[in-house]
Amino acid sequence: MLKAIFNRAIKEELISNKNYPFKNFKSGRSTKSKEVLYPEDIKKLWEYKTVGVREARAKDYFFFSYLCNGMNFKDIVYLKYSNIKGDMLSFIRSKTRLTSRMSKEIKVYLHPEAKAIIERLR
């Protein structure tokens, strides 16, 4: 609450930014639980009959991400055919590409359905 008051006072030019006491302070955030899709939910999505090209494409992107261990959609956007090496897909996360000194290459197995999705979206 005190941090919010200081932020507002600086914004309204009531105090100088040089007097801000929270420069090196990181407030902790609680981690929230991620929602879970159970196998029966995945089965319903898999069997869902799409209506139109956009819905079909959205379903393909979702399942591609799912089959590639939950790959981030931004990472999917930056994929190239050169990232495919046989049955493996390797990439460097966009989120950590510029922030990490040594970017770690991530490798995931390319499920046959993931390969089929690549061909459909080609």
Q: What is the mean pLDDT of residues 71-89?
A: 94
Give a yes or no: residue 20 inside a domain.
Answer: no
The average confidence (pLDDT) of the chain is: 88
Query: Which alpha helices (H) appear in 12-111, and where do they start and end?
Result: 39-47, 52-67, 73-77, 94-97
Give a yes or no: residue 108 inside a domain.
Answer: yes
Give a yes or no: residue 54 inside a domain.
Answer: yes
Which tokens go with 34? 């991620």
Give a yes or no: residue 103 inside a domain.
Answer: yes
Give a yes or no: residue 55 inside a domain.
Answer: yes
Q: Looking up tokens 């009531």, which residue turns up?
A: 14
Give a yes or no: residue 40 inside a domain.
Answer: yes
CA 12 and chain centroid, separation? 36
Structural domain span for residue 64: 36-121
- Distance, CA of 61 to CA of 1 (rounded, Å): 41
Q: What is the mean pLDDT of residues 76-85?
A: 94
Residue 40: band (very low, low, confident or very high) from pLDDT cuts 50, 70, 90: very high
Give a yes or no: residue 116 inside a domain.
Answer: yes
Q: What is the mean pLDDT of residues 60-77?
A: 94
Total domains present in the chain: 1
Give a yes or no: residue 50 inside a domain.
Answer: yes
